[in-house]
A and B are shown apart, each in its own frame.
Chain A
Amino acid sequence: MLLQALGKIAQTLVVLFIVSVASFGLLKLAPGDPIQIMLGSEFSQESYDSLTAELGLDRPFLVQYGDWALRFVSGDWGTSYVARTDIFTYAFKEALPVTLTLASFSLAFAILIGVPLGVLSAVKKDTAFDAGAAVLALTGTAFPSFLLGILLIWFFAVKLGLFPVMGYVSPWQDFWTGIYHIILPGLTLSTYFIAMITRLTRATLIEVMEQPYIAAARARGEPAWRVIWVHGVRNIAMPLVTILGLQLGTLLQGTVLTETVFNLPGIGQMLTSAVLGREYMVVQAGVMMTATLFIGVNLLVDLSYPVLDPRLRARK
């Protein structure tokens, strides 16, 4: 059990290593000479060589990687050439919290709406409600989120004037204003997940409700609501958490688009402007943060299985 967990952690570290090598390689593969970019259009060969040596770009790849990795872990992510700011502060302390806030609010919306909707669809299987929810769910999973965002802005912000068109206020500092600003982006981002969770909840719950322990719970006189919520829903937690972990990538890439639509200063905006400004170190920071987040959450999901399903715990 503990050994298994350690194995998982080791495996995760290997994956992180590969991702870090790849994203370090990204910097090397990138066209354009970073030294040239730093020095501007006019420079002497001397200053070019001295800066190359200063940055250690003349050393072997692996040495450079090791050096970079050490600095990365210690929070020294370099300086943004264009913005002239510290990348760690910019990426980790400013952009990441915005993205995480948006992602977690959307996930909360998605679970709070998607699970009950899926449960209702499963219970009212093959009724008009179920069919309606299925159509909505299909549309929701296929509809491009950035388009939905624009439509929501057009309708709720421009036509009805109910919500701000764009902008970000941290709900951790000013809760209600923050919530007010995050409702439209949150809804935009969560639509796909509401739809997905609805479909998944419906499908797994229908399967669970056919299990003998459901009939047995009914046979000992438990009322319908307890049979569904206590015996049914409890047993879909594991597939739900698994899929949510795997879909975290989709959530993160959704934030990239949603941030652009609503002009939120998160990782998405950071990445886009970095690509346009050819700031590879910022792209690298974005890639590393996204990958670490994804890998970390999926490790947590793996480690949470024994909590969710007692059958996976070690026998006494």
Chain B
Amino acid sequence: MSVQTQEAPVAAPIRKSRRSIFLRRPFFTIALVVALGYVLGALFAPYVAPYDPVAQDINAMMKPPSLAHLLGTDSYGQDILSRVIYGARYALIIGIFSVLIGAAGGLVIGLAAGLSGGWLEWALMRLIDSILALPSLILAVAFIAILGQGVDKVVIAVGLSMIGPFSRTVRADVMQVRVQLFVEAATLMSIPYLKVIWRHILPNVIFPLAVQVTIRISEAILVSSSLSFLGIGVTPPTPDWGLMIAEGRAFVSFAAWMSAMPGFALALLLIALSIVGDGIREEFDPKLRRGA
């Protein structure tokens, strides 16, 4: 049997008419540039930040924004601009690593639930339901209660709390691939089961998972900064935005910049990431692409 794949004659003009994603989606491009700016700021924080983020200065406490301190100082005299820049580091590190933990856990549970059958599948599904029954922040709070506070603990707690949604989407993708013809054919040709998973199922699951990972980074950042805001996440004097917002809250009536500056840094990053996420999802999610 020889199947010759021919260049479809219609494909060429369609491809030509699909302009670059950056031109078609100006908001996406702007948001991506903003997000990349945060990444650069985080990477080169020591070179960009004018002060040491944890250097306290008794002579410059709660100073409003000025030339010396562009975004002002906090109640310990720490430079807010420097803390905001270093904060990007923590936000992105916590966001990315916790999402990776969540994705890894979700991949394992989702694959198991999607590939097994019978009571095991049923039990795993109920397990996923149970994880999903708790909102990620509450789940993260529960894990923090066991683990304690600190950057590493926050990464683990937030990561574990995200396993539920990831495993649900992985399972859905597995189910979709499993019924497709080539998997069935491979199984019929008595190719070892693990090999079928490795060669046929994983590649079809990994890509949508990667899309999910990029979309959910903003969620992880929001949850981690919420933990810090509640005072149970990262411990002071770590320059974490959530923590800085919480510290400034008490002084909001006369030193609003203390909360507002890290707050806007966080809000801008979250908005940029969610626009980037929407763009990626609309471009790459086959479920959303119909009729586009």
Q: Which B residues are in CB contact (< 8 Å) with A142?
A: 218, 267, 270-271, 273-275
Mark each residue of chain B from 235 to 249: 1 if its CB lies under 8 Å from any CB of chain A, else 0. Answer: 000000010010011
Q: Does A95 have its Cβ within 8 Å of any Cβ on chain B?
A: no
Q: Does A197 have its Cβ within 8 Å of any Cβ on chain B?
A: no
Q: Report the minimal beta-carbon distance from B111 to chain A, rounded to whole angstroms.
A: 20
Q: Is B252 a contact of A26 with CB atoms below 8 Å?
A: no
Q: Does A231 have its Cβ within 8 Å of any Cβ on chain B?
A: no
Q: Which residues of chain B from 104 to 130 have a CB within 8 Å of any chain A CB?
A: 126-127, 129-130
Q: Is B126 a contact of A287 with CB atoms below 8 Å?
A: no
Interface residues on B, range: 35 or more
Q: Which residues of chain A from 15 to 69 have a CB within 8 Å of any chain B CB?
A: 15, 18-19, 22-23, 26, 29-31
Q: Is B270 a contact of A143 with CB atoms below 8 Å?
A: yes
How many Å lie between the Cα of A294 and that of B135 in the bound state? Answer: 9
Q: Is A18 a contact of B126 with CB atoms below 8 Å?
A: yes
Q: Is B270 a contact of A146 with CB atoms below 8 Å?
A: no
Q: Does B82 have its Cβ within 8 Å of any Cβ on chain A?
A: no
Q: Does A97 have its Cβ within 8 Å of any Cβ on chain B?
A: no
Q: Which A residues are in CB contact (< 8 Å) with B226?
A: 144, 146, 253, 256-257
Q: A146 and B229 in contact (CB under 8 A), knowing A154-B252, A253-B137?
A: yes
Q: Report the minimal beta-carbon distance from A170 to chain B, rounded to whole angstroms.
A: 23
Q: Does B232 have its Cβ within 8 Å of any Cβ on chain A?
A: yes
Q: Does A73 have its Cβ within 8 Å of any Cβ on chain B?
A: no
Q: Is B230 a contact of A256 with CB atoms below 8 Å?
A: yes
Q: Which B residues are in CB contact (< 8 Å) with A307?
A: none
Q: Which B residues are in CB contact (< 8 Å) with A150?
A: 245, 248-249, 252, 259-260, 263
Q: Does A230 have its Cβ within 8 Å of any Cβ on chain B?
A: no
Q: Is B133 a contact of A291 with CB atoms below 8 Å?
A: yes
Mark each residue of chain A from 240 to 258: 1 if its CB lies under 8 Å from any CB of chain B, else 0. Answer: 0000000001101100110
Q: Which B residues are in CB contact (< 8 Å) with A127?
A: none
Which of A147, A153, A274 has the most chain B CB atoms inside 10 A of its CB? A147
Count residues on chain A whose CB falls below 8 Å from chain B CBs.
Answer: 47
Q: Is B126 a contact of A19 with CB atoms below 8 Å?
A: no
Which of A249, A261, A268 has the most chain B CB atoms inside 10 A of its CB? A249
Q: Is B130 a contact of A278 with CB atoms below 8 Å?
A: no
Q: Does A283 have its Cβ within 8 Å of any Cβ on chain B?
A: yes
How many Å lie between the Cα of A15 and that of B126 in the bound state? Answer: 6
Which of A143, A275, A278, A287 has the most chain B CB atoms inside 10 A of its CB? A275
Mark each residue of chain A from 111 to 153: 1 if its CB lies under 8 Å from any CB of chain B, else 0. Answer: 0000000000000000000000000001101111011001101
B134's partner among A139, A143, A291 (CB-CB below 8 A) is: A291
Provide the main secondary structure of the chain A interface. Answer: helix
Mark each residue of chain A from 273 to 291: 1 if its CB lies under 8 Å from any CB of chain B, else 0. Answer: 0111010100100110011
* Stretch of B72-80, B139-147, B185-193 that contacts chain A: B139-147
How many Å lie between the Cα of A10 and that of B129 in the bound state? Answer: 13
CB closest residue in chain A, given B248 = A150
Q: Does A14 have its Cβ within 8 Å of any Cβ on chain B?
A: yes
CB closest residue in chain A, given B142 = A287
Q: Is B142 a contact of A26 with CB atoms below 8 Å?
A: yes
How many Å lie between the Cα of A11 and that of B135 in the bound state? Answer: 19
How many Å lie between the Cα of A18 and that of B122 in the bound state? Answer: 13
Q: Does A271 have its Cβ within 8 Å of any Cβ on chain B?
A: yes
Q: Report the minimal beta-carbon distance from B223 to chain A, rounded to whole angstroms.
A: 8
Q: Does B266 have its Cβ within 8 Å of any Cβ on chain A?
A: yes
A272's partner among B225, B232, B248 (CB-CB below 8 A) is: B232
How many Å lie between the Cα of A143 and that of B148 in the bound state? Answer: 27
Q: Is B271 a contact of A276 with CB atoms below 8 Å?
A: no
A290's partner among B126, B135, B229, B248 (CB-CB below 8 A) is: B135
Q: Is A261 a contact of B142 with CB atoms below 8 Å?
A: no
Q: Does B50 have its Cβ within 8 Å of any Cβ on chain A?
A: no
How many Å lie between the Cα of A280 and that of B134 in the bound state? Answer: 17
Q: Is B271 a contact of A138 with CB atoms below 8 Å?
A: yes
Q: Which B residues are in CB contact (< 8 Å) with A18?
A: 126-127, 129-130
Q: Is A257 a contact of B230 with CB atoms below 8 Å?
A: yes
B138's partner among A22, A278, A290 (CB-CB below 8 A) is: A290
Q: Which residues of chain B from 211 to 268 have a CB within 8 Å of any chain A CB?
A: 218, 222, 225-226, 229-232, 242, 245, 248-249, 252-253, 256, 259-260, 263, 266-267
Q: Report the minimal beta-carbon distance from A133 to chain B, rounded to whole angstroms.
A: 15
Q: Which residues of chain A from 197 to 247 have a CB within 8 Å of any chain B CB?
A: none
Q: A19 and B141 in contact (CB under 8 A), knowing A256-B230, A275-B232?
A: no
Q: Report the minimal beta-carbon distance from B195 to chain A, rounded to whole angstroms.
A: 33
Mark each residue of chain A from 151 to 187: 1 if its CB lies under 8 Å from any CB of chain B, else 0. Answer: 1011000100000000000000000000000000000
Q: Is A271 a contact of B138 with CB atoms below 8 Å?
A: yes
Q: Which A residues are in CB contact (< 8 Å) with B98?
A: none
Q: Report the minimal beta-carbon distance from A308 to chain B, rounded to whole angstroms.
A: 22
Can you offer 15 A-B residue contacts whose CB atoms are under 8 A?
Answer: A18-B126, A29-B146, A138-B274, A142-B275, A147-B259, A150-B263, A154-B256, A249-B132, A249-B134, A249-B138, A252-B135, A260-B230, A275-B141, A275-B232, A287-B142
Besides A142-B270, A150-B252, A283-B142, 5 more A-B contacts (Cβ < 8 Å) are: A19-B133, A150-B248, A151-B263, A250-B135, A272-B231
Give the interface of A toward B (CB within 8 A).
11, 14-15, 18-19, 22-23, 26, 29-31, 138-139, 141-144, 146-147, 150-151, 153-154, 158, 249-250, 252-253, 256-257, 260-261, 268, 271-272, 274-276, 278, 280, 283, 286-287, 290-291, 294-295
Give the interface of B toward A (CB within 8 A).
126-127, 129-130, 132-138, 141-142, 144-146, 148, 218, 222, 225-226, 229-232, 242, 245, 248-249, 252-253, 256, 259-260, 263, 266-267, 270-271, 273-275, 278
